[in-house]
Amino acid sequence: MSSTRGDLDEPRWLLRLDGTQLSIGATPLFSDDGEALVTKVAELRHRRSPAFVLTLNVDQLVSTCVDPGLRPLVSGSDVVTIDGAPIVAMSRALGGPAACRNTGADMLPLVTAHAVDQGWRVVVCGGRPGAAAAAASNLRHRYPGADVRALSMPDLDGAEDPRGAAVVDELRRLRPDVVFLCLGFPLQEKWFAHWRPRLPDAVYVGAGAAVDFAAGRVRRAPGWVQRVGAEWCWRFAQEPRRLAGRYLVRGPRFIGIAARSLRAAHLGRRP
């Protein structure tokens, strides 16, 4: 990634309010609750074309601020949800209404629950070996009647790795309605963008570690920890080596982004 002060200072890629809508740059962030998000997923599914839902967390936001080359992954998504308590807090700090946090880990069971009534087929794709199968099995047990399938992903050498073609072919055979791509940012977003012309019509969700939570391999923070915005502490305590760079190195950069966003908003309100 390129990293220059100019990238961080670019006013077009800051958190801002457009009326009451929180945005990153010109891209609106979905800030309603989970039920409204499921309704939005249903609307996207009815379009009968591949659509993408990106769940934007603090690490991803920092990455896109530092590397402008990643920004089209956000702006090109059909829906961008808020996955990060600090981003939720910025809506209020900028003078807007309370926003809701919708993570990939939240969406996977929520969509599966609705899939029973909607007749949707849900595919969980990616994760560590065996994680997708375990997640699909757990979800079918938790939501009787849900059509949840697992699809493994090879250890890709980038989004354009030709081995991804076999995954596309299997998706075309499965004919899913919603696909949870659990490859991590930005690989899952880049993979979707590269293979989109060949992908079957469905809603694709960049869900990251959601597969590990659903598989029971990683325990999610209790509700009260999530509500106070401390889920990152819980996750860091579980996987300190893997997450140290995210939370201790890149995470603090959000403070600068928030300060610049607030300063830009203040200057914009001056008469």
The predicted model gives 219-238 an average pLDDT of: 61
Range of weakest confidence among 46-50, 71-75, 127-131, 216-220: 216-220
Segment 173-203, tens digit of pLDDT: 999 999 999 999 999 999 999 999 999 999 9
Task: Give exposure, 232-270, as e/b (b: 16+ Cβ within 10 Å).
Answer: beebbeeeeeebeebbeebbebbeebbebbbebbeeeee
What pLDDT, on a 0 to 100 scale, did the predictor assign at position 8? 41
Range of weakest confidence among 104-108, 222-226, 266-270: 222-226
Q: Does residue 110 surpass a pLDDT of 50?
A: yes
Residue ranges of alpha helices (H) inside 78-199 are 85-93, 104-118, 131-142, 164-174, 187-195
What pLDDT, on a 0 to 100 scale, did the predictor assign at position 216? 86
What pLDDT, on a 0 to 100 scale, did the predictor assign at position 242? 64
Q: Does residue 243 surpass a pLDDT of 90?
A: no
Q: Does residue 246 surpass a pLDDT of 90?
A: no
**DSSP summary character for residue 30:** B
What pLDDT, on a 0 to 100 scale, did the predictor assign at position 245? 59
User: Which strands form 203-206's sheet, in the order they lie side by side?
Assistant: 79-82, 51-56, 203-206, 178-182, 121-126, 147-151
What pLDDT, on a 0 to 100 scale, did the predictor assign at position 165? 97
What pLDDT, on a 0 to 100 scale, did the predictor assign at position 271? 42
For the chain, helix (H) and strand (E) counts, in that order, are: 14, 9
The predicted model gives 86-90 an average pLDDT of: 94
Give which of 160, 253, 243 is closest to 209, Cα–Cα.
Answer: 243
Domain boundaries, the chain: 20-266
Q: Does residue 35 surpass a pLDDT of 60?
A: yes
**Percent of the chain, pLDDT > 70?**
83
